[in-house]
Amino acid sequence: MSRLGKLPIKLDPKTQATLSDGVLKFKGAKGEFSLEIHPSVEVKVENGEIKVSPKDLTAKNAKAFWGLMWRLISNAAEGVTLGFSKKLEINGVGYRAAVSGRKLNLNLGFSHPIEFNLPEGITAAVEGNVVTLSGVDKTLVGETASRIRKLRKPEPYKGKGVKYIDETIRRKAGKAAAKGK
């Protein structure tokens, strides 16, 4: 049994949720979001809260989809109310970022600048060497941050590259440690 799945998801008074044809649509202060409901899960929207339950507990993956859909619905409700954001830090001499329209221009030590097209629903802001990605969809924000980080992962010797703001990079000593033997 899903312990969280049993609990109702309370909606913010300013957030609206409507269910039609297996699609749950949210409208809130930060934007709109729609989520397709898995057929093995039943969803009810009533009195400012959403209740999720499995249609048949004896089905093979019913419990797994019950908990998964509860979490996805909860994230969608939080996303349209508060939004989600990820912060990336760019470290390195000459490494920088700038936003122009729907593109993030990155200089990451290559011979050419990189133009990263932001997906629909994601906004970027740059303050110094910190890039803040924000949006309504938690998955899309995380995936976009991951794709930007992959452009130049942080290296362990000097720490140059793109890393999450709360990430710690294990540093290596380099050649100086080998000479000390």
Please give the chain's pLDDT, 181 residues, in tens: 568 888 999 999 999 999 999 899 999 999 999 999 999 999 999 988 999 999 888 778 888 899 999 999 999 999 999 999 999 999 999 999 999 999 999 999 999 999 999 999 999 999 999 999 999 999 999 999 999 999 999 999 998 999 999 999 999 888 876 676 5
Parallel, antiparallel, or unpaired: how do β-strands 84-91 and 161-164 relate? antiparallel
Residue 140's domain spans which residues?
Answer: 84-164
- In this structure, what are the phi and psi dihedrals at residue 151, rounded to the nearest 5 degrees? -65, -35
Number of domains into which the chain is organized:
2
Structural contact between residues 22 and 34, judged by C-beta atoms closer than 8 angstroms: no
- Measure the CA–CA gap between 52 and 44, rounded to whole angstroms: 7
Bridge-partner residues for 45, per DSSP? 50
- Measure the CA–CA gap between 67 and 95, rounded to whole angstroms: 42
Structural contact between residues 43 and 37, judged by C-beta atoms closer than 8 angstroms: yes
Whether residue 169 lies inside any domain: the answer is no
Whether residue 177 lies inside any domain: the answer is no
pTM over 0.85: yes
Same domain for 46 and 117? no
